[in-house]
Amino acid sequence: MKGDPVVLGIESSCDDTAAAVLRGSRVLANVVASQAVHQAYGGVVPELASRAHQQNIVPVVHRALCEAKVSKKEVDAVAFTRGPGLIGALLVGASFAKSLSVALDIPLIAVNHVKAHILAHFIAAAGATVPSFPFLALTVSGGHTQIVLVRDYFDMEVLGETLDDAAGEAFDKIAKILGLPYPGGPHIDSSAEKGNPKAFAFTKPKVEGLNLSFSGLKTDILRFLQRAVKSDPNFVERRINDLAASAQHAITETLLEKLALAADRFGMRRIALAGGVSANRGLRSALRKRAEQNAWRVYVPELAYTTDNAAMIAMVGVLKLQNRSFSALDTTAAARLKI
Ligand code: KG4
Ligand code: ZN
């Protein structure tokens, strides 16, 4: 191997088929094929996700290699998402990666998707600084919401997590109640920009310690709207921006209160955001405001590396390749995988 290693990453844990090529921590290509098939159902249909991954995986990998101007022979290792995620979806990426590892006689590297969201901070990006250890990570996506103490690349401890819905799931379910398309998070974000976050005070969940809960908020909003539309059938249409802004405010404040508690308890001043919901403008600006108040140093990844992508998988591949931490060909995909 000459110079920095070239790693191909493959991500297929949910509804994005993604492939990326990294040379060291530099991204040469980052291709994501999002599956539109789920939109009509208002959520991800696991069976359809697996089928779409089957269709997409070969062209997506081909495109990533072409864009990177890298031939298969130059690839030093193949990294894939082992879990957590939808099992049928994970199997497509895992099987493809194993086949490629055998065909090219290169190491196979299994990657934990949630860790990868956090380690996306180590991807070389223009103007971005890399957090030094230890730091706190708030991972917020459609499938997970955790506060993680990151001591080193592979030494992470979950300090708190959601007891029910993930933050992204809360965004998506509330968006559905408001009649917004799936996935609803970005739609709530856009509407919220035009609304008043203090228009409605929704109840914040009360959970002990560093754990979180979001299912009560969704029920609270549903009950509130059922009452409101009785006297005004156009209430949701009329107040959509205020409703979105108030719901977003309730979610972001809940997240930030717990994050502040964790930062105090563990004496952390470096805070990193990870996962799809870190694209949320309300969360980003509220975090920056808190950072000023609390003298935090905040790290927010580039948008392309917040939602599901394979660059973060390849990044972990690069780090594991350095440790020669390879996976056997009988490694199984795992729907539930802890940090
Ligand atoms: O990390 P991700 O792409 O996939 C999972 O691993 O789950 O996160 C997807 C989640 C979805 O729930 C989506 O609605 C949410 O991230 N999301 C957002 C925004 N962009 C994506 N939520 C709020 N505001 C956004 N701008
Ligand atoms: Zn994710």
Residues with CB under 5 A from ligand 2 (ion): 141, 308
Whether residue 1 has pLDDT greater than 90: no
Å from CA of 201 to ligand 2 middle? 29
Q: Whose CA is nearest to atom 14 of ligand 1?
A: 185
Which pLDDT score, from 0 to 100, does residue 237 have? 96
Question: What's the 329 CA to ligand 1 centre distance in angstroms?
Answer: 32
Q: Give the tens place of pLDDT for each residue, 307-336.
A: 999 999 999 999 999 999 999 999 999 999
pLDDT in the model for residue 206: 83
pLDDT tens, position by position, 17-64: 999 999 999 999 999 988 777 777 777 788 888 998 999 999 999 999
Mutate to test the pocket of ligand 1, among 81, 138, 141 (most ligand atoms within 8 A of CB): 141
* Torsion angles phi and psi, residue 16, rounded to 5: -120, 125
Q: Which atom of ligand 1 is nearest to the CA of 13?
A: 6
What domains sit in the chain, N to C, each tagged with a CATH number?
6-121+306-322 (3.30.420.40), 132-301 (3.30.420.40)
pLDDT (tens digit per residue) in 81-124: 999 999 999 999 999 999 999 999 999 999 999 999 999 999 99
Give the amino acid at 131: P
Average pLDDT estimate for 198-211: 92
**Side chain identity, residue 301:** P
Please provide the DSSP assignment of 153-203 as one string. TTEEEEEEEBSSS-HHHHHHHHHHHTTPPSS-HHHHHHHHHTS-TTSS-PP
Q: Determine the residue of 15, 138, 307 to mutate for testing ligand 1's pocket, defined as the one with the most ligand atoms within 8 A of the Cβ atom.
A: 307
> Which ligand 1 atom minimizes the distance to the CA of 282?
24
The mean pLDDT value for 253-275 works out to 96
CA of 155 to the centre of ligand 1 (A): 25
Mean pLDDT (whole number) for 152-175: 96
Task: Name the residue among 283, 289, 319, 321 with its Cα closest to residue 301.
Answer: 283
Give 275 Cα–ligand 2 centroid separation in angstroms.
Answer: 6
Mean pLDDT of 261-269: 97
Ligand 1 close to Cβ of residue 171 (< 6 A): yes
pLDDT at position 49, please? 86
Q: Give the span between the Cα atoms of 31 and 311, in whole angstroms.
A: 9
Ligand 2 centroid to 312 CA: how many Å? 10
12 alpha carbon – ligand 2 mean position (Å):
10
> What dihedral angle (degrees, nearest 10) is formed by the CA atoms of 313, 134, 306, 283?
160
Contacts with 267 (C-beta within 8 Å, 6 or more apart), sequence order = none
Report the C-alpha gap between 188 and 245 in whole angstroms. 7
Model confidence band, residue 128 (pLDDT cutoffs 50, 70, 90): confident
Q: What is the pLDDT of residue 182?
A: 87
Higher pLDDT, 289 or 15: 289
Token look-up 């930030």 returns 256
| pLDDT confidence of residue 123 | 96
pLDDT at 72: 96
| Distance, first Cα to last Cα, the chain | 30
